[in-house]
Amino acid sequence: MVIRKAMKSDGAALDALLTKLIRDETRYDSNLSPEVVIKDNYSERIETEGNTAFLAEDDGTIVGYLYGFLYQIPGMMLRPVAIMDALYVEEAYRGQEIARELFQRFREFAEEGHAGRIELKVLSDNTKAMALYEALGFCEKKKYMELLLTAKNGQ
């Protein structure tokens, strides 16, 4: 297994994994479409300053990735915050410490960018992801709340 920094040429493969991630999350979020197909999302984004992606490759096949970025509001934040935006490992490769290795590379990116912390959002019902993040040292800091609205006129 090779963990490496993603390149622009990996964009389509990362888009395919993001598609799988979103489809997987439909189990926890009824507002996500199980038919979604992500295209042209990562190829430019991962090479933009302050953005990064790391991937796990098994014999040339990308089997997992982590995408994140540095975020800072000048004058308000003393140090940037590293946002871990997406983490996905193919089901057949889970339990092999790949997510942990991807996270470690992102943590190094965050530290090199002088981030004060790493933040992520996780769906509350995704207990496996919650357990992973807690094992990596994350703790609850904020709560995001939602109010479901009913559609009017069938929309």
How far is residue 124 CA from its own chain's centroid? 15
Q: Measured on CA atoms in the order 143, 130, 138, 64, is the torsion positive or negative?
A: negative
User: Which pTM was predicted?
Assistant: 0.91
CA distance 97 to 95: 6
Q: How many CB atoms lie within 10 A of CB 135?
A: 11
pLDDT digits (tens, 9 = 90+) for 125-154: 999 999 999 999 999 998 888 898 887 765
- Mean per-residue pLDDT of the chain: 94
Q: Give the pLDDT of residue 44.
A: 87
Q: Give the pLDDT of residue 154.
A: 56
Q: Measured on CA atoms in the order 75, 144, 85, 136, is the torsion positive or negative?
A: positive
Q: What is the dihedral of CA 36, 10, 69, 54, to 10 degrees?
A: 110
Helix spans in the chain (H) = 11-25, 42-45, 98-112, 127-135
CA distance 62 to 80: 29
